[in-house]
Structure 1
Amino acid sequence: MPRIGVLTSGGDAPGMNAAVRAITRAAIHSGAEVFAIREGWQGALAGGDHIVPLGWSDVSGILNKGGTVIGTARSAEFRERAGQRRAVRHLVERGIDRLIIIGGDGSLTGTRELGLGWGELLAELVAAGEITQELADAHPALYVAGLVGSIDNDMVGTDMTIGTDSALHRITEAVDAISSTAESHQRTFIVEVMGRRCGYLALMSAIASGADYTFLPESPPGDGWEDQMVEVLRHGRSAGRRDSILIVAEGAADTHGVPITAERISEVLAEKAGEEARITILGHVQRGGVPSAYDRWMATVCGVEAVRQVLDAEVGAEPVLVGVHRDRVRAVPLIEAVSDTHAVADHIAEGDYASAISARGAGFETMIDIYRTVSEARPTVVEPVGSRRIGIMHSGALAPGMNPLVRVAVRTGIDLGYLMVAVEGGVPGLLEGRFRQLGWGDVEGMAHTGGADLGTRRYVPKESDLYTIARRIEEQQLDALMVVGGFHAYATVDLLEREKHRYPAFDIPIAVVPASIDNNLPGWPMAVGADTALNTVVRSIDMVRMSASASRRAFIVETMGRGCGFLPLMGGIAGGAEKAYLPELGINLAGLEEDIAALVDSFASGRDFYLAVMGEGASEHYTTDVLRRLFDAEGDGSFTVRANVVGHVQQGGAPSPFDRINATRLAWSAVRHLDARLKAGEKGYWAASASAPGFFAPLRDITDAMDWENHRPREQWWMELRPVFHRLSRRPGQD
């Protein structure tokens, strides 16, 4: 039976426990044994009770915990040959020749070097009489897979590292709170975040919080930055801001390599602007706390893939880094990822900042451009008489992130020289002629607010409405239109395109942007609002789990989603559920009999909690209450069953950092796309597309992938994760 060792090394990161849980349970399902190597490589050096087996129940209840339950440490001794030899001896004595390591680039590099020298180290141990030749022959190679646990998101080869999203949650929550007091007193705050060599946290938290200015290691300001910063802050105040927020990465410096610290910025503001700025250094609070929904499910799917990689690897196989790309798991050569990561630091040290930014990836470079447009830039053209006008309208249900989306769209449009016109109240507001021009200051404060200040309604126009809509567009002289929303938005724009031959007013550039907690739209992997709703579901699961800690209880948690199973499936994975009921699969009596048997077996086997997550549209007949009654009846008093309907709180609250950043990217791309079409004299309809240049493709290419009857895409990437959920939710033998 193969044996897999799992260890966490270096700094801790929220989501590491989710990875340990996934690795353990996926390995057990694959017929392998798992050993936890406690306290990182220091545990491998110590051996003994620092290397312990992990069973199915040993990793129960750790999914929602921050840090790492198996411990982590940095080991200087492991860098020495003698230390590596002792670690190898302890591993082979336990029969471990497959390793999954969760750590930063230093830990991953060290593990790869151990793998390369494995044969020589074994030979030295045999020669010294510390192990037998038979034992060495039984373990001729070390198979390695790495997961990146780092809040800095500083590893090339994966879009996100474990812990980064959770750290962004901590930062944005802190900055949102600081903004409230700063606005009350018209003050300036300087917030220092982690990131010695990587400015990801600083950049993305600045975007998510609507900060006025930020300093990044990869993009240092040139000479005269002090005057430029003061001017940007002055411009923000004149546009209506009552507060000023600056975010600085701990490794920021100017082009001469002189560190730009919070204290230095404060001194500049005092000297040049007469501002007495307050300084907040967030420190290690960024590492702590409960992992976000994203860090839970992402670490989970990466952990399952890492098990597959080490079990399927052949002798001589190159160690791999398991990460994500566009929300899909992928594996890349570890040496390539580490080398590319080190190249970024080399570029910064050499002063080649353009290459450093480029090495971070096109997405990082784009977000820097977006941030500068939204926060720093002035309108680039003087508003001419009869300037072109772009309308912005919501359609469909509310989704957290609509306000940040409008803010970025308005400021991007103004920067490009357009008059930005809001349609208030969705399609009914369009019919009623409720229009309002929006200026730079009108969208101030919308970067981190929930709700939809422009208003929205679930309403798809009827044929009798089309003439009125056409008249309203003509009256307002709209040259282009951006429609933000979910299924109703796509249906509305689809109807306008089909009828544009009858109504010339519809023959203008129109772009539709996905915003829906259901995440039920084709073309874009995560609609604005979906991540916030998912986090709400997961927080609800965490709370019901705690409420059940004093008794033997099963819970059925009902999510929104209508005909789409994104929330129940992803909520089930991130919340550690035993069962997820999806609209795509429905519910039948035979399946319920199996589920009830598994439920009863769980409690009979010593469990005191059982969780099922159910989408609201999973079944017309087997509703949440019906399932509760069935489960309760079969429990025969040995446990109780409760239902929790999460409800409309999934649409409320402040948008998550992911949704704010997602909204920013989409809004900026949509307005720039409309601008390009107008300048080229082109007309047409487009929708967001992750695979298209500029992120927008012809509407028909996107809507052809829509299952209109069931209100969901024909292909859903998250459905590929059903096997992952199944492997982790039930012990072997419960299938």
Structure 2
Amino acid sequence: VIGGDGSLTGADTFRAEWSSLLAELVKVGGITAEEAKRSSHLNIVGMVGSIDNDFCGTDMTIGTDSALHRIMEIVDAITTTAQSHQRTFVLEVMGRHCGYLALITALACGADWVFIPESPPEDDWEDHLCRRLTEVGRAPVGALSPPPSPLSPPVFPPQTRLGGSRLNIIIVAEGAVDKHGKAITSDDIKTLVVKRLGYDTRVTILGHVQRGGTPSAFDRILGSRMGVEAVMALLEGTPETPACVVSLSGNQAVRLPLMECVQVTKDVTTAMNEGRFDDALKLRGRSFQNNWNVYKLLAHIRPPSTKSGYTLAILNVGAPAAGMNAAVRSTVRIGLIHGHRMLAVHDGFEGLAFGQVEEISWERVGGWTGLGGSKLGTKRTLPKKYFEEISTNISNFGIHGLIIIGGFEAFTGSLELIEGRAKFEELCIPVCVIPATVSNNVPGSDFSIGADTALNTIPTTCDRIKQSAAGTKRRVFIIETMGGFCGYLATMAGLAGGADAAYIYEEHFNIHDLQASLTAGKTSWGTCSRSGPPQQQGCSPQGRGYGSGDPRPGLLLVHPVIFLAQGGTPTPFDRNFGTKMAGSPPPLAGRIFANTADSACLLGMRKRSLVFPPITALKEQTDFEHRIPKEQWWLKLRPILKILAKYHIELDTSEKAHLEHVMRKGMSLEANI
């Protein structure tokens, strides 16, 4: 059963009444006693489909990511018009009982304020909101700022109108309320801003636009993965097996008791109705709480006047990836909140060697969340040939730690820095690498910033090509993706785009495999995904036709999707992932001399947890020749692609998921640091 808590509750009720319904059918002659005996029990497995992401027990429901895509497209468009006309926009999104869409939208666009039902504002929220939009920002909680000198000019936060901002964005969930349960509507907020501040204010209610449109790559893959897990749960079920729901926890599919999840979901609504909002936040899960805390930290806290005395430098290394700028913004602001001096290094390690370093402020990174590419500039240059110059500049600028956001070059470059510590003691400073690459080929992490944006580019191309191919008989398209020797993009794009095959380096193939795939195809068109450089055994995509010995007439067309995957606006997933990953670095400051293995680490996501493995420990897990990890989790998904393309293969079912419980599962990926 695919649906929300209402549909899943109804399915469980149907299961409970199954025996009585069979008896009634036997009584009226609808079925025989033998037929009733053969169908004596009914197993129920649920998959949660809801754009609100309001079902407890799962990190993400099917449809939520697509709804976020629709919302962010509109927010990005509104931001440009708001900036041009110097307006305030109040955007109302869905979420009658859950503020997930509003919260993630606020995180992804850097909104000035967000109203969600789980955490209403304080009683004086009207005054606070107006101060937020116009006056001096508040000091962070617990920080004591000295009063400004009467001789010095007032300093205004950059997001405010007096600080030079030309727009304000306020996000409202349709179920937003105050502490007393009174509804806070978008019209109420508009009236407040117009009457008190006189700002030109507009209201946009997105409504059912959020439900429509083409599903995102994340939702296509999530639906496929959850569907496979649901079938496996049914096949393994017994008459005693309770109804379960297939959920996503971090990067893993898990099974949870259906009615436990439904009950916790109802408990959230009950807690909100009774005014127990702290309990409602906790019941939503630690992932939701982490999102809320990160938003408050980045949007409402201001840097303290007292400084820590530490200086951290941030740089991008490798190819550009969408979401890099969101990660830089988060890193800079978190560092400033901790009192550190933050430096921006332009053009990677080369810029660090040539002294292209400058101090970066809170306002400098404002509006960076939704920008693609790399605002700092990035290069693939490795540091080894510039050790002397880099050491000199680390000393000259007083750098106490490096945060490197980038791809495989960031990983290998950090290894070189560790090797250089033996000769240059200036390199004995803490280093943290945050993976950001469209190829998703950095060891130590299941995902990297930028991969989701690149992945969404490919199925969009596939969808359009399919329309062209379907109208022309005997036509096959081969779509070449980025990724080098890593087949992540090709595999996931094939799964999301419904390709007939995905050819990658990790699974060797030849021209005869391609010919067999085309011969076995039952449709009049086909699409194949192929990753980067491997052109194995005469499989170069430059030729036309099926091969000299093939009697079938046809046309084979190649459509490369190369640098398109690196550009564009970051997806909501990459904006949010980059913001939260960069907001969770290990404590770099505080270590004056760092020359141990754990002083240089990589921040990665593994299954359900954020992990900080030492970079040197990842060397054994890496194939440096082909720039890929030796073990890659997504290879286990390739049989699903082939089964959906009607290949006759067997699915490995040796790893079986066990039924867990909601409260035990509550240790989400953000909590397991």
Q: Which among 214, 221, 225 is matched to residue 301 of structure 1?
A: 225
CA deviations on 1:364-413 (whole Å, 9 max, x unpaired) are 1111111111111111x2054x9421101011111111111111111121
CA deviations on 1:668-699 (whole Å, 9 max, x unpaired) are 112x6335768999981121133598643433
Which moved further from structure 2: 470-479 or 237-246? Answer: 237-246
CA deviations on 1:230-283 (whole Å, 9 max, x unpaired) are 222224124442210010111111111011110111122123322231000000
Which amino acid is 2:333 matched to? R
Q: Which among 101, 116, 141 is matched to residue 41 of structure 2?
A: 141
**In 2, Cα distance between the equivalents of 1:266 and 1:388?**
43
Match of 2:167 in 1: 243
CA deviations on 1:4-38 (whole Å, 9 max, x unpaired) are xxxxxxxxxxxxxxxxxxxxxxxxxxxxxxxxxxx
Match of 2:538 in 1: 622
Match of 1:275 in 2: 199
Match of 1:448 in 2: 370
Kindly indicate whether residue 413 of structure 2 is the aligned counterpart of residue 492 of structure 1.
yes
**In 2, Cα distance between the equivalents of 1:216 and 1:291?**
25
**In 2, Cα distance between the equivalents of 1:542 and 1:233?**
43
**In 1, Cα distance between the equivalents of 2:257 and 2:312?**
46
Kindly indicate whether residue 430 of structure 2 is the aligned counterpart of residue 472 of structure 1.
no
Instruction: Answer whether contact 1:393 1:482 (CA < 8 A) is retained.
Output: yes
Kindly indicate whether residue 566 of structure 2 is the aligned counterpart of residue 651 of structure 1.
yes
Instruction: Answer whether contact 1:582 1:617 (CA < 8 A) is retained.
Output: no
Instruction: Answer whether contact 1:687 1:702 (CA < 8 A) is retained.
Output: no
CA RMSD across the alignment: 2.3
Instruction: Answer whether contact 2:99 2:116 (CA < 8 A) is retained.
Output: yes
**In 2, Cα distance between the equivalents of 1:614 and 1:622?**
14
**In 1, Cα distance between the equivalents of 2:637 and 2:545?**
28
* Superposition deviation, residue 182 in structure 1: 0.3
Q: How does 1:408-427 map to 2 (within 5 A)?
A: 408-427=330-349
Instruction: Answer whether contact 2:447 2:605 (CA < 8 A) is retained.
Output: no
Match of 2:516 in 1: 597
**In 2, Cα distance between the equivalents of 1:325 and 1:209?**
25
Q: Which among 585, 605, 615 is matched to residue 690 of structure 1?
A: 605
Kindly indicate whether residue 587 of structure 2 is the aligned counterpart of residue 673 of structure 1.
yes
Q: How does 1:97-112 map to 2 (within 5 A)?
A: 101-112=1-12
Tell me: CA distance 1:587–1:335, structure 2 relative to 1, closer, same or farther (3 Å): same
**In 2, Cα distance between the equivalents of 1:597 and 1:489?**
40
Match of 2:328 in 1: 406
SS class of match (2:558) = strand
**In 1, Cα distance between the equivalents of 2:202 and 2:453?**
30
Which amino acid is 1:722 matched to? R
Q: Which among 377, 383, 396 is matched to residue 461 of structure 1?
A: 383
Considering fraction of residues, name the structure with more helix. 1
Q: How does 1:473-552 map to 2 (within 5 A)?
A: 473-552=394-473
Which amino acid is 1:609 matched to? W
Tell me: CA distance 1:663–1:246, structure 2 relative to 1, closer, same or farther (3 Å): same
Identity within the alignment, %:
40
Match of 2:305 in 1: 382
CA deviations on 1:480-502 (whole Å, 9 max, x unpaired) are 11100000001111111222232
Tell me: CA distance 1:196–1:731, structure 2 relative to 1, closer, same or farther (3 Å): same
SS class of match (2:69) = helix
Q: How does 1:283-322 map to 2 (within 5 A)?
A: 283-322=207-246
Unaligned runs of 5+ in 2: 135-156, 652-673
SS class of match (2:44) = strand
Tell me: CA distance 1:428–1:623, structure 2 relative to 1, closer, same or farther (3 Å): farther
**In 1, Cα distance between the equivalents of 2:59 and 2:589?**
29
Which amino acid is 1:458 matched to? R
Q: How does 1:141-180 map to 2 (within 5 A)?
A: 141-180=41-80
Q: Which has the higher contact order (CA 8 A, sep 6+)?
A: 2
Q: Which among 211, 214, 221 is matched to residue 111 of structure 2?
A: 211
Tell me: CA distance 1:182–1:426, structure 2 relative to 1, closer, same or farther (3 Å): same
Which amino acid is 1:358 matched to? K
Which amino acid is 1:558 matched to? E
* Superposition deviation, residue 151 in structure 1: 0.5
Q: Which among 274, 289, 294 is matched to residue 365 of structure 1?
A: 289
**In 2, Cα distance between the equivalents of 1:733 and 1:367?**
41
CA deviations on 1:416-442 (whole Å, 9 max, x unpaired) are 212211000111111110011111111
Instruction: Answer whether contact 1:318 1:333 (CA < 8 A) is retained.
Output: yes
Match of 1:183 in 2: 83
Tell me: CA distance 1:549–1:533, structure 2 relative to 1, closer, same or farther (3 Å): same
**In 1, Cα distance between the equivalents of 2:537 and 2:590?**
50
Instruction: Answer whether contact 1:585 1:618 (CA < 8 A) is retained.
Output: no
Which amino acid is 1:416 matched to? H
Question: How many matched pairs?
Answer: 624
**In 2, Cα distance between the equivalents of 1:582 and 1:111?**
41
Tell me: CA distance 1:240–1:517, structure 2 relative to 1, closer, same or farther (3 Å): farther
CA deviations on 1:524-545 (whole Å, 9 max, x unpaired) are 2210000000001111111111
Which amino acid is 2:95 matched to? G
SS class of match (1:686) = strand
SS class of match (2:546) = helix
Match of 1:197 in 2: 97
* Superposition deviation, residue 300 in structure 1: 0.6
CA deviations on 1:472-518 (whole Å, 9 max, x unpaired) are 11111012111000000011111112222322211222111000000
Match of 2:129 in 1: 229
Instruction: Answer whether contact 2:89 2:170 (CA < 8 A) is retained.
Output: yes
